[in-house]
Amino acid sequence: MTPDSLSAPISIDAGFDSGNIEVLSIEGTSARLAIRRDHQSEFFQWFHFRVSGGAGRTLELKITGLASAAYPDGWVGYRACVSEDRDTWYRAETRYDAAEGGGTMTIRYTPQAATCSFAYFAPYSMERHHDLVAEAAASEGVAHRVLGRSLDGQPIDCLSLGEGEKQVWLIARQHPGESMAEWWMEGALDMLTDPADPHARKLRQLCRFHIVPNCNPDGSRRGHLRTNAAGVNLNREWLEPSAERSPEVLAIRNAMDETGVHFAMDVHGDEAIPAVFFAGFEGIPGWTEAQGEAYRRYRTILERRTPDFQTKRGYPVARPGKANLSMATNQIAQRFGAVSMTLEMPFKDNDDLPDPAQGWSPERSKLLARECLASLLEWLA
Ligand SMILES: [Zn+2]
C-alpha cells in the first residue's frame, strides 16, 4: 500500500443489476449519498452499491433525505447489509438521525477487501433468478412456462410440479426491493425438487404447485423498491390488471383462472416490523367462517413449527366488507374461495430471535420456506 492509496478517495458504483444510489459527494473515506426514486414513482427505500478503495480504512457513508422514503419507520432500529464477497451478508454499524439532513442513516464499516457492497437486504440478482429457474426446470417432473412478459420484455417465469389435485400458487417479489422473498423461493424450490425430501414427496402427491419466483423482474433489475418499469405497484393491480400498466399481474391472474386456486402464498418483506407475520384476507365480500378458520389453522401450524414465525405483531385487520380487492391475497381469496395469505419477513431482524451478525438473512428466509411447506402438508393431512 502506498501513501497515495491511504489518502485516495473511495469510489462508489451502482451501475449494475439492482443497483441504486446517487453520490452527492465523496471526501476521502466519507460519502454523502441519496436513494433514487422508482422510475415514474415517489417510492424509494431500496439501495445497493459498491464501495472500492477503502480496504483497511473506516468508511463513513451518510444516506440522506430518508425521512421522505416510503417507510421512514423502517430506518429506526435498522442496520445496513454489507458483504465483501457478495455471498455472505452481515450487518454493519448503522445509526439513523431523523433530524439530520432530512433523515440521515450513517453507516460505519472498515472493509478488509478492496471492494465491499452495501444493500437494503441481500440482493437477489436477475442472473441468479435465471440460475434458479434453469436448475429447477432441469429437475425431474418440473414444467417451466413463460406466463407473459414485463414492460421491459423480461419473461414472467412459472415452474409447475406435483401430480396432486390441490392447486397451490406461490408468488414472490411483486415488490422488487423485497429480495428476501426470492431467497424464500430458492428455499421452497430446493425442497420441492429434492427427490429425497419426505415432505416434498408427499406434497407432490397431493398438490400441483405453480411457482412464480419473481413477479416483477423489471423493478428488480432497475433497483426499485415497490414498482415495475412504469412506476406501478403491482400489488394494487389485481382487481383490474392491464397490458399497459401491469402485464405481469395480468399474465399471472389469467394463469390462475385456468387452474383455479386452493391455497396461495404471496411472499413479501416488511420495512418497519421486526418480525415474521401473515396478512390474511379478512374483509373480503365473500368471506366465510370456514375459509377464515382454515387460514387460522394454517397460521397456528406454522407458529408451532418455527420460532421464526409469530402472530402477535402484524398489520391491522380489515373490517367486514372493507378488504382491498386490488391486492393479490384478497383477490385470490375472493375470486377462488382460496385460503391465501401475504407472508411478510423483516428487513430488520426477528426481534423474538435476534441474530446480531446477520439480522434477518437469506439463510433464514430459505429455512422459513421449508417450514411453510411442511406446514402445508400438515394442514392438508
Ligand atoms: Zn411487499
Report the amino acid identity of residue 207.
C
- Whether 380 has a pLDDT exceeding 60, the answer reads yes
* CA distances, 139 to each of 120, 133, 361 (Å): 32, 10, 26
Total residue length of the chain: 381
Please choose, from the candidates 118, 113, 58, 111, the residue with its C-alpha nearest in 3D space to the C-alpha of residue 89: 118
Distance, in Å, from the CA atom of 276 to the CA atom of 269, rounded to the nearest integer, reads 9
* 3-class DSSP state of 258: helix
Task: Note the pLDDT of residue 7.
Answer: 79
Q: What is the mean pLDDT of residues 288-315?
A: 98
CB 213 within 8 A of CB 129: yes
Task: Note the pLDDT of residue 4.
Answer: 56
Task: Note the pLDDT of residue 225.
Answer: 98
CB atoms within 10 A of CB 114: 13
Distance, in Å, from the CA atom of 15 to the CA atom of 48, rounded to the nearest integer, reads 10
Q: What is the mean pLDDT of residues 195-220?
A: 98
Structure confidence by residue, pLDDT tens digits, 88-137: 999 999 999 999 999 999 999 999 999 999 999 999 999 999 999 999 99
Please choose, from the candidates 83, 241, 128, the residue with its C-alpha nearest in 3D space to the C-alpha of residue 174: 241
Percentage above 70 pLDDT, the chain: 98
Please give the span between the terminal C-alpha atoms of the chain, in angstroms, as a whole number: 64
Strands (E), the chain: 11-13, 22-27, 30-34, 48-52, 59-63, 81-83, 90-91, 93-97, 104-109, 115-119, 143-149, 155-161, 166-172, 207-212, 263-270, 277-279, 339-346
Cell 439513523: give the residue.
Answer: 96
Rounded distance from Cα 192 to ligand 1 centre (Å) = 24
Distance, in Å, from the CA atom of 220 to the CA atom of 86, rounded to the nearest integer, reads 17
Q: What is the mean pLDDT of residues 82-86?
A: 98
Query: What are phi and psi for residue 223, nearest 5 degrees?
Result: 75, 35
The C-alpha cell that represents 328 in the structure block: 393479490
Rounded distance from Cα 111 to ligand 1 centre (Å) = 31
Rounded distance from Cα 120 to ligand 1 centre (Å) = 14
Report the amino acid identity of residue 4.
D
Q: What is the mean pLDDT of residues 234-254?
A: 98
Rounded distance from Cα 231 to ligand 1 centre (Å) = 15
Q: What is the mean pLDDT of residues 366-373?
A: 98
According to CATH, the superfamily of the domain at 126-380 is Zn peptidases (3.40.630.10)
The C-alpha cell that represents 334 in the structure block: 375472493
Rounded distance from Cα 175 to ligand 1 centre (Å) = 5
CB atoms within 10 A of CB 214: 30
If you classify domain 11-119 with CATH, what class do you get?
mainly beta
Structure confidence by residue, pLDDT tens digits, 303-350: 999 999 999 999 999 999 999 999 999 999 999 999 999 999 999 999
Query: What are phi and psi for residue 87, nearest 5 degrees?
Result: -125, -55
Task: Note the pLDDT of residue 256.
Answer: 99
Rounded distance from Cα 270 to ligand 1 centre (Å) = 6
344, 363, 371, 378: the catalytic one is 344
Task: Note the pLDDT of residue 152.
Answer: 98
Task: Note the pLDDT of residue 153.
Answer: 98
Q: In what order do the strands lie in the sheet with 104-109?
A: 22-27, 30-34, 59-63, 104-109, 93-97
Report the amino acid identity of residue 71.
Y
Summary mean pLDDT of the chain: 97
**DSSP structural state of residue 20:** B
- Whether 235 has a pLDDT exceeding 70, the answer reads yes
Rounded distance from Cα 227 to ligand 1 centre (Å) = 10
Rounded distance from Cα 14 to ligand 1 centre (Å) = 23
Structure confidence by residue, pLDDT tens digits, 21-43: 999 999 999 999 999 999 999 99
Rounded distance from Cα 356 to ligand 1 centre (Å) = 24
Residue 344 bears catalytic tag: yes
- Whether 1 has a pLDDT exceeding 60, the answer reads no
H helix intervals, the chain:
3-7, 126-137, 180-192, 198-206, 217-222, 247-259, 289-305, 328-336, 362-380
Domain-by-domain residue ranges, the chain? Answer: 11-119, 126-380
Query: What are phi and psi for residue 97, nearest 5 degrees?
Result: -125, 110
Rounded distance from Cα 106 to ligand 1 centre (Å) = 25
Rounded distance from Cα 38 to ligand 1 centre (Å) = 14
Query: What are phi and psi for residue 65, nearest 5 degrees?
Result: 75, 20
Rounded distance from Cα 268 to ligand 1 centre (Å) = 4
Look at the pTM and tell me if it is higher than 0.95: yes
Task: Note the pLDDT of residue 2.
Answer: 53
H helix intervals, 15-125:
none
